A and B are shown apart, each in its own frame.
Chain A
Amino acid sequence: MFESLSYLALQQYWWAIISLLGSLLVFLLFVQGGQTLIYTLGKNEKERTILVNSLGRKWEFTFTTLVTFGGAFFASFPLFYSTSFGGAYWVWIAILFCFIIQAVSYEFRSKPANVFGPRTFETFLFINGALGTILLGTAIGTFFTGSQFSVDLANITQVNDPVISRWETPYRGLEAALNIQNVSLGLTVFFLARILGILYFLNNVEQPDIHVRAKKSLLRNTIPFLVVFLTFVVLLLTRKGFAVDPQTGSVYYENYKYLHNLFTMPVVAILFLTGTLLVLYGIVISLPGNTSKGIWFSGPGTVLVVFSLFCLAGYGNTAYYPSTFDLQSSLTIQNSSSSKYTLVTMSYVSLMVPFVLAYIFYAWRSINREKITEAEIQQESHLY
């Protein structure tokens, strides 16, 4: 089945899988967003326990999606793994730290004799929610703005210095924080995660006081979200991008490259606009009334927007991980992918993704029939 596809088609298929995983990850960052609101929405210990337990039943999905996103990137585009992780060392290590401290916090927070006290683990959750989302968004921002690195595969023949990819600044990825477009994407992800977290609480928690505070907080987060999101979009569509000559594979600057990509790939433009409208619709219907369905619009909307952004970065003869130090070192889905055989093999594995999504949906629904309330928490034998 997949054997009959061309190498390029397989590379494009795998970029779509990466884009899907990345977009699902950003949606699932509602857990992180929610973690930054525990003290904003929960004014006493009982309310905070409700909020933490509401998120605690989902945190592993986000974590697993992040790990799978990394694994899939490694398997399909190993040159990115080699170049970005080994190069932008400090950024990725900081992101990893944010996720290490999250993983134990739910389980340890309310357990007796946890040594550091519940506040420490709640602080860990806040750091994960705030710094984790901003750093992830900023790191993904470099897909459009570029980084300073070089790649030379022939270095492997140099005994005295065989490393093929090198980061050409001493700041090891931290320099991305000096670019307003990267930062605006980081802040967009942060505020979007908070909005999704609020919409999730409105859907999953049944506690009037929390709902009142959540709606106020929704408005307070939507305004800065719109500012930073629009800033990012305007900067993205007006900047020069990193185009690839399909004949020679050489990379060159093209003015308004990402705007051109929207025009040359109208399906992507439709996905982007539809996603944006869905995100906004989910927010708008949640602000005034008593609906708890906002997450079912803003969540899929997020997936569509992020998916379309990944498409803009990787498709349409574009370098998805550009180098501003040496344009010809930029990574494209053609020059950084695994071999055809590996992509074919992995493509068969990818057929399991719908099955995985189906059982996640089934299991999730089974334990979410009842909304989380104080009474529900009291009945629960496993508490976070």
Chain B
Amino acid sequence: MFENIDTSLVDWSRGQFALTAMYHWIFVPLTLGLSFIIAIMESLYVKTGQEEWKKITKFWMTLFGINFAIGVATGIILEFEFGTNWSNYSWFVGDIFGAPLAIEGIMAFFLESTFIAVMFFGWNKVSRKFHLVSTWLVAFGANLSALWILVANAWMQNPVGMHFNPDTARNEMLNFWEVLLSPVAISKFIHTITSGYVLAAIFVIGISSWYLLRSRENLLAKRSILIAAVFGILSSVMLIFSGDGSARQIAHIQPMKFAALEGLYNGQEGAGLVAIGVMATAPGDTNSRNVKDFTFSLEIPNFLSYMAYGKFDAFVPGVNDLVDGNPQRGIMSVAEKMERGRFARESLALLKNARDNGDSATYNQIKARFSDDTFKENYFRYFGYGFLDNPESVIPNVPVAFYSFHIMVGLGFYFALLMIFVLYYLYKDKLENKRFLLRLSVFTIPLAYIASQAGWVLAEMGRQPWVIQDLLPTMAAISHINTTTVQITFWLFAVLFTALLIAELSIMFKQIKIGPK
């Protein structure tokens, strides 16, 4: 059935997109958070007039500039890859997805790129206040840019505010505000940007700790830690609350992802939350579902039910319930969804035939079907399932989802604790003596990046096989290119990005060693 779809092409296309997205995401969170930290520092300079604050601002601004440039370089690829590698996707949902990308350019990128020039080159050319406003506008521009791309991503996870137009064979926007203000988009935006703020805070604290360990730049280091720790702790509170909200939304709109992130195969009432666990292939498991079990786990009883539905005894469906269906719980099987998806797809094919043959009676009859709420609710919403050939293909990689979720959450709580300790000892004026804490802060910098990447791995790999939840699987979203072409560009991107990353890290380390001017 799938003889013409080259699954290796889908995999390489996914791999290329993942490669560019993950490289891009190395640099973006620091831009999001550091821009605000710099703006706060410069505000203190303008308010107090102390040259030390200006020196601190300029130092962090130098690191910001190095990071920003490579973020821009990796970002341009992502926008155009939707066309180059996902051309079917670009048409099928471009009517909705393209708008946030264009708005991002008009509203955010120009704001960022215009005022970043003032921020770097305007110190001796514009007034202090204009310069400060420019720095704040760069921070708002960067975060506004994140808003639009995250709105677009949230829509892929939870498509709302649109309908399917059978004549154009694509989804079309019906309500812009529903797309923009979707609860999933709001949670995703808050959770993602605050994760960037925490990463930036850890970055500033880590580098400042390195100076304190070497008894260098003490004033810069302590002031930077003060700003970053307060900023980071406040952001952590938002991060935890928005993360909790996101988990509840996932349980409702992407129950398979939710089951996977907890490694829950069989649904339970009063399901427990695995705080720590190690997964392995279940003993004696020979079926193709490749069920994983925990060789070790620490579980908080009933907490998963509470996290998902606000009740300690609520039923949380597992992977098996979602694939096989669970009539008692009102869960439809994937096989049934595939049948309904096929019917929706075949209806579209019949419509096309009727139009080509000039059979207006059949055409009108089928067209009316696509406007009928019952058809939309019971058939078209499963359109993407019509492309699947095996019910188990809706199962994402469970261990990847489980570990990425637990790494992200565990490290997130660790960062909050670390920042509280650092702030406490700074307040007590004992931080310089806490050398273990300072060393820990330095070594925490890479952990912040790992947590940040893990969040995106969960978000994107956890929703496989869907590029648009329930409507379009990745295999139907590709471009008509051959695998070798994508393999070549994958390796070209990998080599280029790695070379640029090496240069970026080398420059960054050197600037940190040099210190403020």
Contact = CB atoms under 8 A, between A and B. Distances in A.
A82 B66 CA distance: 33
A339 B171 CA distance: 9
B488 to A, nearest CB: 9
A162 B83 CA distance: 16
Contact of A165 (B66, B73, B480): B480
Instruction: Sort chain A's interface into a size bin.
Output: 35 or more
A104 B503 contact: yes
B165 A82 contact: no
A91 B120 CA distance: 34
A156 B173 CA distance: 19
B347 to A, nearest CB: 9
A63 B1 contact: no
A68 B109 contact: yes
Contacts of A163: 87-88, 478-480
A78 B106 contact: no
A161 interface: yes
A205 to B, nearest CB: 15
B116 A60 contact: yes
A115 B117 contact: no
Contact of A339 (B122, B130, B172): B172
Interface stretch (B287-295, B399-407, B508-516): B508-516
Best-buried of A71, A103, A359 by chain B (most CB within 10 Å): A71
Contacts of B106: 68, 71-72, 349-350, 352-353, 356
Contacts of A349: 99, 102-103, 106-107
Interface stretch (A106-114, A183-191, A217-225, A238-246): A106-114
Main secondary structure of the interface of A (DSSP, over half): helix
Contacts of A92: 80, 83-84
Interface in B175-221: 176
B117 A160 contact: no
B83 A85 contact: yes
Nearest to B88: A163
Contacts of B507: 108, 111-115
B118 interface: yes
Nearest to A116: B503
A262 interface: no
Given A78-B94, A341-B174, A366-B122, A64 B69 contact: no
Instruction: Sort chain B's interface into a size bin.
Output: 35 or more
Given A164-B169, A349-B106, A86 B83 contact: yes
Contacts of A100: 73-74, 76-77, 496, 500
A232 interface: no
10 contacts: A60-B116, A85-B80, A85-B82, A86-B481, A115-B502, A115-B503, A157-B352, A339-B173, A352-B107, A379-B124
Interface of B: 1-5, 58, 61-62, 65-66, 68-70, 72-77, 79-80, 82-88, 90-92, 94-99, 101-107, 109-118, 120-126, 130, 134, 165, 168-170, 172-174, 176, 345-346, 348-349, 352, 386-387, 476, 478-481, 485, 489, 492, 496, 499-500, 502-504, 506-507, 509-511, 514, 517
Interface of A: 57-58, 60-61, 63-64, 66-68, 70-72, 74-76, 78-79, 81-87, 89-90, 92-93, 96-97, 99-104, 106-108, 111-116, 153-154, 156-157, 159-167, 172, 338-339, 341-342, 345-346, 349-350, 352-353, 356, 359-360, 363-364, 366-367, 369-370, 379-382
Given A97-B496, A163-B87, 5 more contacts: A108-B69, A156-B88, A156-B169, A342-B173, A359-B114
